[in-house]
Amino acid sequence: MSDEQQTGAGLRALGVKAWAGLAPGWQPVASLSEIAQEEITPAWVGGHPIVLVRLGDDVFALDGRCTHQNAPLVQGTFVRGAIRCPFHGFSFDVRSGEMVWPGGGTPLPCYSTRVQDGRVDVWVEVLE
C-alpha cells in the first residue's frame, strides 16, 4: 500500500448536530493494523459512530447506523462486499453505500478515507 491512498465515494449529508464542534478536514479514526480484512470495525468521528471495512489495500468508511431503523451496523455482518444489518437484513454495498438488498432504499452515507503512515483518516465536512 502506498503511504497515502484515498478510497470511498465521498461525503453525503448527515445531520449537522452529529458533527458539531469538529473542524472540517481529515480526521484520524484508527490504525490500519486494527482493521481486519473483510470484517466490520467500529470507529467514531466527533461522537458519531461509523464502521470501517478493509478490502485488500482499501479501507471504506460508512455511517454506523442503518438508514432503515437506525440499527447499529457494528453488530451486522460482512457478506460478499456488503454490510448486512442485524435487525432486518437490509444490505449496503461497502464501496458505495448503495442498498443492495432489498434494493431501492436510502443508501448508507459513506466517507472518503486515506491511509497515511499506517493511520486511517476520514474526510469530514461540517454542514451548516
Beta strands 40-45 and 48-55: pairing type? antiparallel
Could you tell me which residues are beta bridge partners of residue 48? 45
* Smallest separation (angstroms) from ligand FES to the CB of 12: 17
CA 96 to chain centre: 10
* Smallest separation (angstroms) from ligand FES to the CB of 109: 14
Residue among 30, 17, 16, 12 nearest 116 (CA):
30
Please identify, using beta-carbon distances, which residue of 26 and 87 lies nearer to ligand FES.
Answer: 87
* Smallest separation (angstroms) from ligand FES to the CB of 62: 13
102 preceded by cis ω (within 30°)? yes
Please identify, using beta-carbon distances, which residue of 90 and 123 lies nearer to ligand FES.
Answer: 90
Please identify, using beta-carbon distances, which residue of 52 and 66 lies nearer to ligand FES.
Answer: 66
Please identify, using beta-carbon distances, which residue of 66 and 120 lies nearer to ligand FES.
Answer: 66
Is 110:61 a contact under the CB 8 Å cutoff? yes
* Smallest separation (angstroms) from ligand FES to the CB of 77: 12
Footprint of ligand FES on this chain (CB under 6 A)?
66, 68-69, 71, 85, 87-88, 90
Cα–Cα distance, 125 to 26 (Å, whole number): 9
